[in-house]
Structure 1
Amino acid sequence: MTLYTRFAAHLDAALDSLVSEGALPAGLERRAVTVEPPRDPTHGDLATNAAMVLAKPAGTNPRALAERIAAELDALEEVASVAVAGPGFINLRLTDDTWRAELSAILDAGDDYGRITSAAPTTVNVEYVSANPTGPMHMGHCRGAVVGDALANLLEFAGHKVIREYYVNDAGGQVDVLARSVHMRYREALGEDVGAIPEGLYPGDYLVPVGQELAREFGDAFADKPEADWLVLFRTRAVAAMMAMIRADLALLGIHHGVFASEAALQAAGKPEAAEADLRARDLVYDGVLEAPKGETPEDWEPVELPLFRSTRFGDDQDRPIRKSNGQWTYFGADLAYHYQKAENADALIDIWGADHAGTVKRIVAAVQALTGGRTRFDVKLVQMVRLLRNGEPVKMSKRSGNFVTLADVVREVGKDVVRFTMLTRKADAQMDFDFAKVVEASKDNPVFYVNYAHARIASLHRRAEEAGIDCPGADLSHLDTQELALVKLAAQFPRIVETAATAREPHRIAFYLYDLSAMFHALWNVGNDAPERRFLIVDNAALTCARLFLADAIGQIIRNGLAIMGVEAVREMN
């Protein structure tokens, strides 16, 4: 139990006491009652809105109720003072010993500090990356990959069971194009001069080894055969080769999915038909005609009856077709069936999509709501593209021409941890620049460096203490004063940050928090540059040094816990 959950329990006990006294009616809904740090830290250490939330349903004055609640809380040994502010907010100031005890709790819990345990954890399916299996991972995929993986880590740390899923789009026209592209490389491997790769095919050299392997295995058996004889085989082999490449690229980032769901297998298993039958049985799919396109109607447009999903019932601006006029599934129809499959094994679904898919969010949210009867929470997190820069100049790239910056190249140049941390230094839906020079810069403006530097400084303290002959079998935390305890107060917010970040599905909050915690630690460290008595290591005062080392160790533990959620390793030395 963390400090915040403990005081939430104290508040519940205080409210129960008022109920038993008849000062509050029984059965009031308390879910909106919070215990959190006040916005202005000068007001105290904790604040609660209990009186503001409960006064109206209780039929009483909020300030009068706040006074009664404050009197209950003021009796707690951990509370130094309680004040009622404004119309009924309650601010608490805790004793210094309470914060010292929380500092010990951080190190006692170690790697589990901030971790949430649940007797009945929910299962969350996080689907991320899901790049078309037509080539290696490039930097356009990187941000969504990191956001999705860090979110999966965060949800696990917050007590959920997590399914990490990659949707393999291996049933669309793009994989037929891939197969044709590989067939050219196959003929090339057999010695044929294929010339320039035609427009519309994938020109990248990454397909050369695939063609060579097929040539070794089959010789010239398919060199002059019609497409119908080799398309399925070449498509299967090409997708398998691309997925092996994608897995290897993701592994460089420390990303490993537990499930790879095939669109082709989904359709072969009849999932789209099952989803359609389910929705028809509930009158959520019907046969109808779409309205003519707005504006000037194309000459070749004609009204065609199609199976339509009633997405307007769920907030969409029009009903959506799930099949084309030729009977094939629309992209939406296949996607609907895929989410139908995911919802069978999860309590909540999260999709990490590129911002270019924003226009389809409303309809798929409507579909999941319909398919699950609103029982399954579904979030789509949109991720903006990353602009690559070298010394402030844009890096030009074109996937169509086969010239693009691969994820593997970037990881090898700056390192996995730099890439992962950088991708979490902005909200996912905010624009981001990735400057190869800036992300490795040793400055306060580079969060990757700044947080790692804090951890490296902490690691250095023990080496320096040992060199000075200072041994710390224990620590008397009474030596820590108000300035040092202010750092403890920020450290103690980590469990709250984990909980709120997991609820909001926003792993970047961990990166923001670690930066703030590191900044406060650096500020405390730097005070010692001008005031030697404020240094963490004072050779002739072992007791004070041990207390400050204990504080530093706790901050280092939280940095490691936060970085682990981000999938980043904490460094002990800066080169």
Structure 2
Amino acid sequence: MNLFTDFEDRIKNALESLEIVKEKRSELDFGRVNAEPPRDSAHGDVATNAAMVLSKPLGTNPRALAELICEKLRQDPDISDVSVAGPGFINVRLSKAYWQRLIARMIELGTDFGRSDVGGGRKVNVEYVSANPTGPMHVGHCRGAVVGDALANLLGFAGYEVTKEYYINDAGSQIDVLARSVFLRYREALGESIGDIPAGLYPGDYLVPVGEALKAEFGTRLRAMPEDQWLPIVKDRAIDAMMGMIREDLAALNVTHEVFYSERSLHADGATAIRTAINDLTFKGHVYKGTLPPPKGQLPEDWEDREQVLFRSTEVGDDIDRPLIKSDGSYTYFAADVAYFKDKFDRGFDEMIYVLGADHGGYVKRLEAVARAVSGGKAKLTVLLCQLVKLYRNGEPVKMSKRSGDFVTLRDVVEEVGRDPVRFMMLYRKNSEPLDFDFAKVTEQSKDNPVFYVQYAHARCMSVFRQAREAFTDLDTDSKILADAVAGRLEDPSEMQLAAKLAEYPRVIEQSAQAQEPHRLAFYLYDLASAFHAHWNKGKDQPELRFVNDKNRELSLARLGLVYAVASVLKSGLLIVGAEAKEEMR
């Protein structure tokens, strides 16, 4: 139940009943009319811009129109007060009875409060992480993993049909480098002295077990084979080993994917999928033969000053046309991207979201162009870029991991501070902004540590219930009993303020999902925790506000209902974030 959607409908109904509106209804756009929380809660519970956005097309003064709207809204029994502010904004204060019914509904819905159908079952593919399978996940992958996973959870909660996908980049030259690096470790396992790892190969110790496994499976047989025979064998084993490691790393972060899509599959059977995708673009008039001017700056590896098969991407929003087939007949990396998008579109997705690192900024326009060309504008493509994460410990930069060779692994971070702090803090800043992650700060138990503060609020909720059972040993805290107890009993202004913060949750869910900004949810959870802690602290100074009053069982039940609602929203939000709602803090 979205309070603001409810009152937006009531405000529009009030508008429809005005004679001045009836005369020009066909000329009016109600789409700009909204209902939202006022900037200052002292002004009321709901604010609307209705008079401000409709006064001009109606040819009237905003304040005069606002007064007409107020007259209609005052007839609503759920509204206790309505007033005009400034040039024509309308502030609405809701009745206590309405708040009590809403809290009861929150209790009945539990962790489903806030669940929305705004997505309308729209099929969305969220592809995230998609790291090259050449080693363990590093902290740069960590942010994209959390953003993608939380966004997918959020979209699912908001009524979208979501598929979480990982694209395995297992067809490029980096896989040849991986295989040769593993073969070196295989030789080492056989007892050879390999010396320093040659430049260009992967130096990390994580490849040692892969070499040992090859020795256990093949003995010395691979050593006797020429490279063209052992290379494909080692490639397969290396990719399997790396993907096993990556899955374990992601599992440690509570990140899951439903689909792991192999780039190599696009090149199978003579690259049928790629050829089909190019033929489809050709049929639609998006492909031609030609040459490209040299790009500014350093030339990319696949640039040729020869006639190639080109994608006419400038006609669908790109900066330059893109090569699909080189002059020697081989496909470009970009051709596989086209085939991959077509595969997603053919699987029936209405929207594709790519969560990529900041270094992929140059891919955005070309991918958007592919989406327009392949789908004919029917599918939407969004690229979310995650900026860099800088690691600190007490303000000092963190050194690289020996195991990886040249970077800090995701597993290093999770094992040191825990999954929940990592996930929450990776969302505690918008993905397009750089993030500083300090190991010391994310583990301290204080208000300045957002994840601790939010989990502590949920643990406090649970402690209230334990306290209540001590005060009333036969207490039944079934959600229906709590919901029934609320009516007529929750009336204190501070209780209403806490309820108002809870009421924002469905709106936060819908707006965060539509904007594809999961960080908004993390911010909201912190604000809700802050409101709950503030109300808790009032009970220290004013015993009559405490949740449990051993002299008043019915009032205690009603307040337990409010606590139940807080705990449910915190748990719901933490589940979407991918963190645990703690029962106790140790």
TM-score bucket of the superposed structures, by smaller chain: over 0.9
- Output the amino acid matched with 1:191: G
The CA distance in 1 between the partners of 2:168 and 2:495, in whole Å, is 51
Pair 1:511-2:514 in alignment: no
| CA shift for structure 1 position 58 | 5.2
Pair 1:526-2:528 in alignment: no
The CA distance in 2 between the partners of 1:310 and 1:32, in whole Å, is 38
Aligned to 1:390: 393
Aligned to 1:420: 423
Aligned to 1:446: 449
Pair 1:430-2:441 in alignment: no
The CA distance in 2 between the partners of 1:122 and 1:293, in whole Å, is 39
Kindly provide the CA deviation profile for residues 284-308 of structure 1, in whole angstroms up to 9, marking residues without a partner as x. 222221113447999xx97311222
Partners of 1:82 and 1:93 within 8 A in 2:
yes
| CA shift for structure 1 position 158 | 0.2
| CA shift for structure 1 position 311 | 2.6
Sort the Cα spacing of 1:197 and 1:224 in 2 relative to 1 into closer, same or farther, 3 A. farther
Aligned to 1:73: 73
Indicate the larger mover: 202-211 or 245-254.
202-211
The CA distance in 1 between the partners of 2:16 and 2:304, in whole Å, is 68
Pair 1:480-2:483 in alignment: no
- Output the amino acid matched with 2:494: Q
Q: Of the candidates 554, 557, 564, which is equivalent to residue 546 of structure 1?
A: 557
Indicate the larger mover: 20-29 or 450-459.
20-29
Aligned residues: 573
The CA distance in 2 between the partners of 1:332 and 1:127, in whole Å, is 17
Q: Say which SS state the counterpart of residue 330 (structure 2) adopts.
A: coil
**Runs of 4+ in structure 1 displaced over 6 angstroms?**
295-298, 398-401
| CA shift for structure 1 position 208 | 1.9
Partners of 1:202 and 1:400 within 8 A in 2:
no
Aligned to 2:169: 169
The CA distance in 1 between the partners of 2:252 and 2:31, in whole Å, is 43
Partners of 1:19 and 1:26 within 8 A in 2:
no
Aligned to 1:559: 570
Kindly provide the CA deviation profile for residues 510-555 of structure 1, in whole angstroms up to 9, marking residues without a partner as x. 1100101111111111123333333333333444433322222211
Sort the Cα spacing of 1:108 and 1:336 in 2 relative to 1 into closer, same or farther, 3 A. same
The CA distance in 2 between the partners of 1:122 and 1:103, in whole Å, is 30
Q: Say which SS state the counterpart of residue 550 (structure 1) adopts.
A: helix
The CA distance in 1 between the partners of 2:93 and 2:255, in whole Å, is 43
Partners of 1:480 and 1:548 within 8 A in 2:
no
C-alpha RMSD of matched pairs (Å): 2.5
Pair 1:320-2:322 in alignment: yes
The CA distance in 2 between the partners of 1:369 and 1:235, in whole Å, is 35
- Output the amino acid matched with 1:346: F
The CA distance in 2 between the partners of 1:296 and 1:453, in whole Å, is 52
Identity of aligned residues (%): 55
Partners of 2:119 and 2:159 within 8 A in 1:
no
| CA shift for structure 1 position 225 | 2.1
| CA shift for structure 1 position 9 | 2.8
Indicate the larger mover: 552-561 or 539-548.
539-548
Aligned to 1:274: 276
For normalisation by structure 2, the TM-score amounts to 0.91
Kindly provide the CA deviation profile for residues 401-426 of structure 1, in whole angstroms up to 9, marking residues without a partner as x. 72433222322222211211121111
| CA shift for structure 1 position 16 | 4.0
The CA distance in 1 between the partners of 2:445 and 2:122, in whole Å, is 41
Aligned to 2:30: 30
| CA shift for structure 1 position 39 | 2.4
Indicate the larger mover: 255-264 or 308-317.
308-317
| CA shift for structure 1 position 326 | 3.1
Question: In the TM superposition, what are the counterparts of 1:249-260 in structure 2 within 5 Å?
Answer: 249-260=249-260
Indicate the larger mover: 525-534 or 468-477.
468-477
Q: Of the candidates 489, 506, 515, which is equivalent to residue 495 of structure 1?
A: 506
Partners of 1:169 and 1:262 within 8 A in 2:
yes
Question: In the TM superposition, what are the counterparts of 1:241-252 in structure 2 within 5 Å?
Answer: 241-252=241-252
Gaps of 5+ in 2: none
The CA distance in 2 between the partners of 1:459 and 1:50, in whole Å, is 42
- Output the amino acid matched with 1:176: D
Partners of 2:96 and 2:491 within 8 A in 1:
no
Gaps of 5+ in 1: none
The CA distance in 2 between the partners of 1:21 and 1:179, in whole Å, is 72
Q: Say which SS state the counterpart of residue 257 (structure 1) adopts.
A: coil
- Output the amino acid matched with 2:439: F
